[in-house]
Amino acid sequence: MQLKTRLVIHSAVTRSPTDEWTTQQLREATPWDDHPKYLIRDHDRKYGSMFSSLTASSGIKELKTPFQAPKANAVCERFMGSLKRECLDQVLLLNQRQLKRVLKEYVRYYNHARPHQGIQQCIPGMYGKKEIPPVTGKIISRPILGGLHHDYSRTAYLN
């Protein structure tokens, strides 16, 4: 997740994360040397020596949060809370494949349709862009996650 824009850059699902799995997720989230300067993480064992070696070789400085201090990584904790309240608590999940599909759709909604108070009601995928939405035209609603949420937009008004 990018701190300034609140943009979720990668998501994945596993039943039991390991050092190898977490290292591979970091590789997938930071392709072609496109990596952050800092990576904030907790003290979980899933961030082992392989993970630390990859961050060091990539030039990423690991910042470990203090024990039992969720406010030290508040943006990520806020995303996880939103994911839980707005999505996972509302959906009956039957298997890991369905969880991956639901998570992918929620992240798309989170990045491209959901306004965020922390960035002045901007949408993370549109942060910093000077796009002016149309002020005329029919308002349409697109259901997200089977109607759990909705994305509203205007159609282009043609004369």
Q: Residue 122: its pLDDT value, please?
A: 81
CATH number of the structural domain spanning residue 123: 3.30.420.10
Question: How many domains would you assign to the chain?
Answer: 1
User: Is residue 146 included in any domain, yes or no?
Assistant: no
User: Is residue 147 included in any domain, yes or no?
Assistant: no
pLDDT (tens place) for every residue of the chain, 159 residues total: 665 678 888 999 999 999 999 999 999 998 887 888 899 999 999 999 999 999 999 999 999 999 888 888 888 888 999 999 999 999 999 999 999 999 999 999 999 888 887 777 788 877 667 666 667 778 888 888 888 888 888 777 665
* Residue that the structure tokens 């591979």 belong to: 24
* Residue that the structure tokens 């959901």 belong to: 114
How far is Cα 132 from Cα 152, in angstroms, rounded to an integer?
Answer: 15
Supply 86's token pair: 């707005």
DSSP 91-121: S---SHHHHHHHHHHHHHHHHHT--BGGGTT
How far is Cα 86 from Cα 100, in angstroms, rounded to an integer?
Answer: 16
Provide the domain limits for residue 27.
Answer: 19-132
User: Is residue 79 included in any domain, yes or no?
Assistant: yes
